[in-house]
């Protein structure tokens, strides 16, 4: 081959090689994440997927109504609510976003509390997810650190799946966590909240730390629910839940199953610590604990020998 031909071959090779490297470099460049949308007002309704961040503390007792994020008009998600969790959600005649903290009615939402506090002045909901949504919501993640205080319910899930709340402090609420079925959507326990994860949260000064009513296959792990009326209550239609490695001290009842009604079965209650609770550290209303598993818990008082 002539020298000229060799140079041409080498030139073509290097051009092709350089083009391949450029294509590879572009392919390996990480996509730029969508910027987080800042939340600055009480009553914010999130109707679109995305990343959200609480930009400041919220005081919601007499706050102005915030705009709906992601839609030009308010969604018609508020209805008359008939639920055992009475008083935790807005009534039909109320402005649904006047004094809640944040209401989420969209899938694939990440909300960072960013170390801030949401204060409710004694009523409504700190953060609601799925309330009134006919098909429920999924893949909603609420991430601390952050504090929710002085609400009827700190965090309310209705017909929510594959979602999580981690590292949040919730105190001085009627119920700190209310995890239930689609009551506002009209299907109640028939549309349960499922496969959600609640980890590393701290609860105090509440009627209920966690109350499950229409909630199946959820995980409560490494939470502290102390200084309440009942630390963790699986009240009604709560099956297949994993309640593990939680602390429930200095309540009236530590971990209680089934006193709200039937179908509280197939739950695993393991490796929890429940001490110095006034009535019972651990309690199961089902005869012989039914199909609930109680193992490796640290406690003093329990109502049945099947609790271990």
- Chunked into runs of 10 residues, the chain (308 residues) has average pLDDT values of 47 48 48 77 94 96 54 31 35 46 96 97 89 94 97 95 98 94 90 97 95 96 97 95 98 92 92 97 96 98 97
Q: Where are the domains of the chain?
A: 1-30, 33-299
**How much is the pLDDT for 80?**
26
- State the CB neighbour count (10 A cutoff) for residue 260: 18
What is the distance in angstroms between the CA of the first residue and the CA of the last residue of the chain? Answer: 86
pTM higher than 0.85: no
Cis peptide before 145 (omega within 30 of 0): yes
Q: What confidence score (pLDDT) does residue 93 get?
A: 32
Q: Is residue 153 within 8 Å of 174, Cβ to Cβ? A: yes
User: Among all chains, which residue has been given the structure tokens 């909901």?
Assistant: 125
Phi then psi for 5, rounded to 5 degrees?
Answer: -65, -40
Burial code (b: 16+ CB inside 10 Å, e: under 16) for 44-67 equals bbbbeebebbbeeebebeebebbe
- CATH topology (fold) of 33-299: Pectate Lyase C-like (2.160.20)
Number of residues assigned to the chain: 308
């Amino acid at each position: 081959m002539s020298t000229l031909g060799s140079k041409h071959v080498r030139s073509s090779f290097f051009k092709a090689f350089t083009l391949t490297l450029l294509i590879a470099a572009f392919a390996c460049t990480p996509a730029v994440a969508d910027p987080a949308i800042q939340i600055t007002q009480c009553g914010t309704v999130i109707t679109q997927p995305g990343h959200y961040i609480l930009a400041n503390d919220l005081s919601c007792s007499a706050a102005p109504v915030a705009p709906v994020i992601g839609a030009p008009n308010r969604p018609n998600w508020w209805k008359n609510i008939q639920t055992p969790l009475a008083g935790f959600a807005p009534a039909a005649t109320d402005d649904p976003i006047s004094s809640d903290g944040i209401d989420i009615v969209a899938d694939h939402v990440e909300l960072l509390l960013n170390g801030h506090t949401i204060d409710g002045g004694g009523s409504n909901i700190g953060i609601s997810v799925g309330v009134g949504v006919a098909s429920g919501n999924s893949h909603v993640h609420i991430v601390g650190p952050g504090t929710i205080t002085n609400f009827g319910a700190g965090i309310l899930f209705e017909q929510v799946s594959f979602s999580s709340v981690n590292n949040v402090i919730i105190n001085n609420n009627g119920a700190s966590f209310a995890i239930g079925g689609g009551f506002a959507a009209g299907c109640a326990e028939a549309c349960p909240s499922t496969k959600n994860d609640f980890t590393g949260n701290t609860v105090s000064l509440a009627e209920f730390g966690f109350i499950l009513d229409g909630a199946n296959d959820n995980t409560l792990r490494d939470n502290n629910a102390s200084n309440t009326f009942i630390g963790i209550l699986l009240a009604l239609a709560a099956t297949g839940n994993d309640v593990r490695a939680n602390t429930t001290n200095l309540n009236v009842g530590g971990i209680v199953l089934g006193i709200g009604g039937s179908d509280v079965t197939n739950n695993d209650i393991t490796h929890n610590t429940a001490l110095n609770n006034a009535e019972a550290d651990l309690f199961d209303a089902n005869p012989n604990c039914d199909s609930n598993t109680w193992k490796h818990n640290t406690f003093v008082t329990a109502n049945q020998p099947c609790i271990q």
